[in-house]
Structure 1
Amino acid sequence: MTETLFQHGTLAALVPGLFTGTITAGELLKHGDTGIGTLAGLDGELIIDAGTIYQVNHEGKVRVVAPDETIPFGNVHFANFGPAQTLKAASYADLQAAVRAHLRSLNLFAAIRLTGTFKHVTTRAVRKQTVPYPTLVATADDQSVFNAENVMGTLSGYFSPALYAGAAAPGFHLHFLSADHQFGGHVLAASGVTGALQLQTFTNFELHLPADDAAFRDQDFTSPQIVADIERAEH
Structure 2
Amino acid sequence: MSHLQGCLCPQHLLQGLVSQGQRDNQRELHQVSIMSALMDGVYEGEMTLAELFAKGDFGLGTFNELDGELIAFDGEAYQLRSDGSARPATGNQKTPYAVVTFFEPQLTLYVDSPVTRQALHHDIDAQIGSANVFCAIRIDGQFNHVRTRTVERQAPPFIPFTKAVEQQPLFDFAHAAGTLVGFRSPDFIQGIGVAGYHEHFITEQRHGGGHVIDFHLQHGSVQFGIISRLVVHFPTGEDFKHANLTPAFLDRDIRRVEQSS
Q: TM-score, normalised by structure 1?
A: 0.93
Moved over 4 A (4+): none
The equivalent of 2:78 in structure 1 is: 54
**Mapping 1:12-91, distance limit 5 Å:** 12-87=36-111, 88-91=113-116
Give the paired residue count: 231
Work out whether 1:215 is the aligned partner of 2:244: no
CA distance in 2, matches of 1:74, 1:193: 29
Could you say what secondary structure the match of 2:65 adopts?
A: coil
Given that 1:44 and 1:56 are in contact with CA atoms closer than 8 Å, whether structure 2 keeps it comes out as: yes
The equivalent of 1:6 in structure 2 is: 30
CA distance in 2, matches of 1:234, 1:2: 29
Mark the runs of 5 or more structure 1 residues left unpaired by the alignment.
Answer: none
CA distance in 2, matches of 1:4, 1:229: 26
Given that 2:37 and 2:244 are in contact with CA atoms closer than 8 Å, whether structure 1 keeps it comes out as: no
**Mapping 1:112-151, distance limit 5 Å:** 112-151=137-176
The equivalent of 1:200 in structure 2 is: 225
The equivalent of 1:176 in structure 2 is: 201
Percent identical among aligned pairs is 29
CA distance in 2, matches of 1:32, 1:83: 19
Could you say what secondary structure the match of 1:187 adopts?
A: strand
The equivalent of 2:248 in structure 1 is: 227
Give 1:89 shift.
4.3
Choose which of 119, 124, 129 in structure 2 pairs with 1:94: 119
Q: Which has the larger radius of gyration?
A: 2
Give 1:81 shift.
1.2
Amino acid aligned to 1:40: N
Going from structure 1 to structure 2, the CA distance change for 1:104 and 1:22 (only over 3 Å counts) comes to farther
Going from structure 1 to structure 2, the CA distance change for 1:185 and 1:229 (only over 3 Å counts) comes to same
CA distance in 1, matches of 2:228, 2:81: 33
Q: Kindly report the root-mean-square deviation, in angstroms, between the aligned alpha carbons of the 2 structures.
A: 1.5
The equivalent of 2:22 in structure 1 is: none
CA distance in 2, matches of 1:147, 1:219: 34
Could you say what secondary structure the match of 2:144 adopts?
A: strand
Give 1:97 shift.
1.4
Given that 2:27 and 2:103 are in contact with CA atoms closer than 8 Å, whether structure 1 keeps it comes out as: no
Give the helix-richer structure, 1 or 2.
2
Choose which of 131, 148, 153 in structure 2 pairs with 1:106: 131
Given that 1:166 and 1:234 are in contact with CA atoms closer than 8 Å, whether structure 2 keeps it comes out as: no
Q: TM-score, normalised by structure 2?
A: 0.84
Give 1:204 shift.
0.6
Could you say what secondary structure the match of 1:188 adopts?
A: strand
Mark the runs of 5 or more structure 2 residues left unpaired by the alignment.
Answer: 1-24, 257-261
CA distance in 2, matches of 1:48, 1:202: 17
CA distance in 2, matches of 1:154, 1:102: 21
Work out whether 1:165 is the aligned partner of 2:190: yes
**1:105-132 deviation line (CA, Å, top 9, x unaligned):** 2211110001111111111111110100
The equivalent of 1:153 in structure 2 is: 178
